Chain A
Amino acid sequence: MMLFRVLYAESLKMKRTSALALVVIVPFAIGVLILFEVAEAPFSVLRMRNPAGNQWMVLTNLNLLIWAALMLPLFITLETALMAGLDHSENQWKNLFARPVPRWTLYIAKLLVVTAMAAASTALLLCFALVAGAILPRLPLSVKVHFGFPVPLAAMLRQGAQIAGLAFLMLTIQNWVSLRWRAFSVATGVGIMATVASILMRAASVQNGGWEQYFPWSLPMLVVATPPAQNVGAALWIGGVAGLAVAAAGCWDFCRREVK
């Protein structure tokens, strides 16, 4: 009940913030970029594909690849930092901790809100992929693309959900860092460095294999890996449990903190 009260308050705090706008802007921007790339780029992955293949999944994979490798880690970095910043600014903690609500509810509410934002953005990204699939055949392209029916919605949703699920561990880490340190630059610095490291790790894995499965920021890439990763299910379990452990540790740290 207390948690619902805090979530209810948290939802109001987001009003007029860029944190809320980013939930729509980021997936929309990716959708537009992919649409542009497929329509204009001469070496478009989609165009080179065999027309008999499932073009919906190719389009979805294009969106999810950019999302999992780059935009989702950056999105989580920004959202956790912005949401924590709402209460770091003007030292709101002294007001919030003086209210009759358990401190853990304040921490968990932040975590739930950012998790919901990441899930909502992933869902929107899939929606924009569907819209792109509806628009592309109607464009006057030199090589026609065709998106057959039925749309593989279940497969698209499964991949999106897996990516969002594998991002949970990095989200809990970023949430802890953002709430632990007041400076925006600490949270964003950690997130950007980790995202770059995850891309390098993925590149190294092409030669030596498997490094990315040990790094929280590169776990979502397992879903869109080429060749497809076989350990997504195990990674979801391990990442989920590790994410819960990090959330519990962060919550403990948050609850014992003194406010100056």
Chain B
Amino acid sequence: MEAPVRIEHVWKTFGGTAAVRGLSLSVPSQSVYGFLGPNGAGKSTTIRMMLGLQRPDRGAVFLFGRPLAAERIAALRRIGSMVESPSLYPHLTGRENLEVHRRLLSLPKPAVDQALETVDLLAVGDRLARNYSSGMKQRLALAQALLGAPELLLLDEPTNGLDPAGIHEVRTLVRDLPKRRGMTVFLSSHLLAEVEQVATHFAIISQGQLKFEGTPEELRLRRSERIVVEVDQPERALALLASLGRTVTREGNHLLIEPGSDLGAARINAILVQAGVAVSSLATKGSTLEDAFLELTEGDQ
């Protein structure tokens, strides 16, 4: 099946500073694609280029297999989006805000109520948007994006300003969309915890460059386990392991041995014991997605 989004070697520069540098992505159909990166990594610029709001200096964006630059209108018919903070007409009601977009999309009238119902705003649809709480505004913006049941949903930081209950609602909604409606969701965030629970695929971007693209499992496997060992002579053990080319950090009597060679836990234990270092405990420490994320985006925070 054709990837709903394919980005090829895209560059975007603002005032001599490259915000996006040779980025390439491919978003699988009916996936929840988490697009992660620290603030200022180039996520919003990438999304804007995917919507045609900004033009790449180099490279190309393909939506549903067609070049966006040549077939923008046709591509946008199949896309719903929410870019950063909600953009609403405060003097209109929630329902009227959606009606503006319904008219632009030439959808049947019931589409408005369906979208309001999806985000649980049907009961307050006739209230002015200026009187909505920030969580309700966020949900109304989400309803705008969902209007017309798009095949691809682009969400840029969709849980900004939401309380925990609101975050949970958005998360549940996003998780269900591919299954219930066959949508592909492209979800941008700087919060790993937000994306980790819903994404089937990840891309991590840092300083405008792609650092990783794949499944959560592939991201975990990318980082080997570290070994934590407790010894009676930490200085001597540290010098010994360092001489074997291992990266070791010391915390009291504990040594944290970074992965990097074929020395396993058993071999390390044997080396230390043979050298007369008493090993009190030895354990492997699993690498989390957060560890991988932080490692990949190191220096960009």
A residues within 8 Å of B by Cβ? 5-6, 8-9, 12-13, 15-17, 86, 89-92, 94-102, 258-260
Contacts and interface: CB of A to CB of B under 8 A. Distances in A.
A6 B91 CA distance: 19
Q: Give the 8 A-B residue pairs with the shortest CB-CB distance, closest first.
A: A100-B76, A9-B103, A259-B53, A100-B77, A90-B87, A98-B51, A258-B54, A8-B103
Contact of A12 (B53, B76, B100): B100
Given A5-B106, A98-B51, A98-B53, A12 B96 contact: yes
Interface residues of B, number: 31
Contacts of B99: 12
A56 B294 CA distance: 80
Contact of A98 (B79, B100, B103): B79
Nearest to A92: B87
A49 B84 CA distance: 64
Contacts of A86: 89
Would you call the interface of chain B mostly helix, strand, loop, or mixed? loop
A100 B150 CA distance: 12
Contacts, number: 77
Nearest to A89: B90
B191 interface: no
Interface of B: 48, 51-55, 73-74, 76-77, 79, 81, 83-92, 96, 99-101, 103-106, 144
B104 A5 contact: yes
Nearest to A256: B55
Nearest to B74: A100
Contacts of A5: 103-104, 106
Given A9-B103, A90-B88, A98-B83, A259 B73 contact: no
A99 B55 contact: no
Nearest to A6: B104
A258 B12 CA distance: 12
